[in-house]
Amino acid sequence: MSKTLQVNGYDKDCTRGPGRLFMTVTMTPEEYREFLAAEKKKTKYRSTMCEYNGAKYHSKLERNRAIELDDLLKAKKIIGWTRQVPFYLGTMLNKYVVDFLVFDLDGTVHAEDAKGMETPKFKRNKKRWELYGPCPLWVISKKKTVIIYPKGVKLTQNRINKPFDYNIK
């Protein structure tokens, strides 16, 4: 059985809109799979989309951190976690989405971001987080974890004390 695929060509009758380009090609399912495999482009930083528990993750590092967080949840070392949480740093124009928001047993919250490479955009967001972030940001890479503390977050006895209460019990 063959499938029909539309690729670049020209629609002389303009039935698909003015100036639309299309061409009909007939190919077998094997040829179609090869065509799709050849069309996949590598991402700029060579990250691979992954899936875990029905959710899609932007990189293997991010997926592996989700697995670790699930293990911590099962071991009852954290209360819970959520993914892809937006924060507005300073103004509504500076939207930054962290990979995970983790709720600790002692009632504190911290954000986590899995980074394989520090991009110039992330460096700008890191500075904004230091000024406007509501909680500590853990930047997790393959080699190390760096914690960015925003202004107003104080450390006592190696614990994070926030200037406001999250009401997590």
Q: Is the pLDDT of residue 110 over 60?
A: yes
- For position 167, what pLDDT does the model report? 37
Least confident range from 5-19, 28-42, 44-58: namely 5-19
Confidence tier at 106 by pLDDT (50, 70, 90): confident
Going by C-alpha positions, the residue among 139, 162, 13, 10 that lies closest to residue 65 is 139
Helix (H), strand (E), coil (C) string for 27-58: ECHHHHHHHHHHHCCCCCCCCCCEEECCEEEC
Query: What confidence score (pLDDT) does residue 38 get?
Result: 66
Does residue 19 or residue 42 have the better pLDDT?
42
Q: Is the pTM of this model over 0.75?
A: no
pLDDT in tens, 63-84: 889 999 999 999 999 999 999 9
Alpha helices for the chain (secondary structure H): 29-39, 60-74, 120-132
- What is the distance, to the nearest Å, from the Cα of residue 106 to the centroid of all Cα atoms in its chain? 26
- What value does the mean pLDDT of the chain take? 76
The confidence score (pLDDT) of residue 98 equals 94
Q: State the architecture of 50-161 in CATH terms.
A: 3-Layer(aba) Sandwich (3.40)
Residue 114 or residue 3, greater confidence: 114
Q: What is the pLDDT of residue 107?
A: 87
- pLDDT at residue 161, as a whole number: 41
Q: In the chain, what are the domain boundaries?
A: 3-39, 50-161
pLDDT tens, position by position, 115-146: 888 888 989 999 999 999 889 999 998 888 88
